[in-house]
Amino acid sequence: MDSKVIENIEPFNDIYFKSCFYNSLFPLVNYFRSDLNSILFNDIIVYDSEPEKIESGIGVKYIPVLRDEQLIDHLELEVEMKESCPDIIDRIQKDISQNRPVILWVDSFYEPLRTDTYMKHHTPHTLLIYGYDKKEELFHIIEHKSRENLSYKKRQIAYGDVSLAVKGYQENFMTPDRFSYYSFIALRTNSDSEKNPYAKTEKLQSQLLEEFSARKESIFEGLRHMEKFLQHYRRTVLNEQLLKSNVKSLVEGLNTVINFKRVECYRFKRVFSVNHHLSRVACEIEELWELLRVDVAKYLFFYMYDWDVFYRGVERSEKILQLEYRFYEELVK
């Protein structure tokens, strides 16, 4: 077969979740009509600090319930996982020919589509491959433009670039306890719980609340990191000189937080409904963080300082603090 494209595999751009692996996996979860919620709620996400930026840095830590391989099995997807494939091009073509889409770990240093990293930075990354063309020596992939950017599209990449990117990953990032090649084969027989989505949703809600309660200590430790970050935000934005020297790192910190809050809003709406009070609070928190970022980002681009604007931001930050604690206190009851 000279060419093959597996139809109906579509990019996922709703949220950026955890790592590029998941944004490669989500289109397949939807393609195989598996359970996206099982992935979204496999992790308790908490605030964390970045040691190299003790005062200004804010990070996010994912605490998984199941390992990646266990999770895929839990999704009832049959997946063949390999540490490496010597004849990578032939292997991909063989799997695609049998309607088996592939997720592949690569080094995006060798990936021309990624202008942010190509020949600049060695970065571990995943590609979702769903087709090939032997004559043109091209793979059909789903890929985005830059790190943590929701611009996933159907694109094409040359066989030679894939070979180099795979070799780069094996040389720079591969460890003995990891897989680098995932071939997705089929969906197993649906269980009774999948035939009753309401029962499954209620079960997931119950499990979710139990997991939050079990990780209460980590959650509130994270909230203390968040509180320190907000204190830094307040000191910085009310002093133009401080803001000028810290604006880039402040935007980076706000980007990290907002990505986390978008995931929280998205997943609570999926499981608890849009109008559930937990969903409403989660999404209100996200919106307030977004407003903080808008003000700081405007200053980054235009360097026009308005003390009144940032004072209103300080007032919003107080509300954020109250809502964050209220949200998690209710979850861990």
Distance (Å, rounded) from C-alpha 144 to C-alpha 177?
A: 27
DSSP string, 102-141: EEEEEEGGG-TT-TTTTTT---EEEEEEEEEETTTTEEEE
Residue 235 and residue 250 in contact, taking contact as beta carbons nearer than 8 Å: no
Provide the pLDDT for residue 192. 43
Distance (Å, rounded) from C-alpha 10 to C-alpha 27?
A: 6
Provide the pLDDT for residue 52. 58
| Residue in 6, 4, 3 with CA at minimum distance from that of residue 142 | 6
* Helix 88-97 vs helix 159-172: crossing angle, to nearest 10: 120
Provide the pLDDT for residue 142. 98
Q: Give the model confidence (pLDDT) of 10-48 as tens digits.
A: 999 999 999 999 999 999 999 998 889 889 989 999 999
Q: Which amino acid is at 258?
A: I
User: 183 is written with which tokens?
Assistant: 């071939």
**What is the band of 193 on the pLDDT scale with cuts at 50, 70, 90?**
very low
Q: What is the mean pLDDT of residues 187-209?
A: 64
Q: Give the model confidence (pLDDT) of 110-156 as tens digits.
A: 999 999 999 999 999 999 999 999 999 999 999 998 876 789 999 99
> Has residue 185 got a pLDDT over 90?
no
Distance (Å, rounded) from C-alpha 215 to C-alpha 127?
A: 33
Distance (Å, rounded) from C-alpha 155 to C-alpha 34?
A: 24
**What is the band of 196 on the pLDDT scale with cuts at 50, 70, 90?**
low
> Has residue 89 got a pLDDT over 80?
yes
Q: What is the mean pLDDT of residues 285-310?
A: 97
Distance (Å, rounded) from C-alpha 106 to C-alpha 94?
A: 19
Q: What is the mean pLDDT of residues 200-226?
A: 89
Output 197 or 75, whichever has higher pLDDT. 75
User: 89 is written with which tokens?
Assistant: 């091009």
Coil, helix or strand at residue 178: coil
Residue 215 and residue 208 in contact, taking contact as beta carbons nearer than 8 Å: no
| Residue in 90, 97, 159 with CA at minimum distance from that of residue 127 | 159
User: 105 is written with which tokens?
Assistant: 């770990």
**What is the band of 55 on the pLDDT scale with cuts at 50, 70, 90?**
low
**What is the band of 53 on the pLDDT scale with cuts at 50, 70, 90?**
low
Provide the pLDDT for residue 147. 79
> Has residue 250 got a pLDDT over 90?
yes
Q: What is the mean pLDDT of residues 153-164?
A: 98
Q: What is the mean pLDDT of residues 282-305?
A: 97
Distance (Å, rounded) from C-alpha 71 to C-alpha 149?
A: 24
What average pLDDT is seen over the chain? Answer: 91
Q: What is the mean pLDDT of residues 168-196?
A: 77
Q: Could you tell me the maximum CA-CA distance found in the chain, to the nearest angstrom?
A: 66
Provide the pLDDT for residue 54. 46
Residue 141 and residue 130 in contact, taking contact as beta carbons nearer than 8 Å: yes
Provide the pLDDT for residue 74. 75
Distance (Å, rounded) from C-alpha 241 to C-alpha 247?
A: 10
Residue 306 and residue 312 in contact, taking contact as beta carbons nearer than 8 Å: no
Distance (Å, rounded) from C-alpha 9 to C-alpha 103?
A: 13
- % of the chain exceeding 70 in pLDDT: 93
* CATH numbers and ranges of domains, the chain: 3-34+76-189 (3.90.70), 197-331 (no CATH)
Our CA angle for 195, 196, 201, nearest 5°, is 125
Residue 91 and residue 85 in contact, taking contact as beta carbons nearer than 8 Å: yes
> Has residue 253 got a pLDDT over 90?
yes
